Amino acid sequence: MEAVKEQPINEEVNKVTTEELKQLQELNQLFQTYKTQLGDLEVKKSLVITEVNKLRADFTTLETSLMEKYGKDCVINIETGEIKEKENG
């Protein structure tokens, strides 16, 4: 990798060019936008995980109730509601 040669700072010119400033500002704005989007996604992810955990708990509660009512070895067809005994083997 080739070393970058540093230019001496000119005391008379103490600003970057207009084009360089524009590029810096655009890149900084994009960076800030993406950081915000990542934060929003993390919040949404957390909310979805919470909802999935609630669904799991609800499913377990219903499953336990159905097993008590119809037996531990029952199989319920999720589309028709038909109950059958679990086949052995």
Contact 66, 74 (CB under 8 A): yes
**pLDDT one-digit tens code per residue, 40-86:** 999 999 999 999 999 999 999 999 999 999 999 899 999 999 999 88
Tell me, what's the pLDDT at 1? 63
Q: What is the pTM of this model?
A: 0.62
Strand partners, 83: 76
Q: How many domains is the chain partitioned into structurally?
A: 1
What is the spatial distance between Cα 65 and Cα 83, in angstroms, rounded to a whole number?
14
Domain carrying residue 64: 39-89
In a domain, residue 28? The reply is: no
Say which residue the tokens 């934060």 belong to.
Answer: 39
| C-alpha distance from residue 84 to each of 69, 78, 79, 89 (Å) | 13, 12, 13, 15
Mean pLDDT for 17-35 is 97
In a domain, residue 80? The reply is: yes
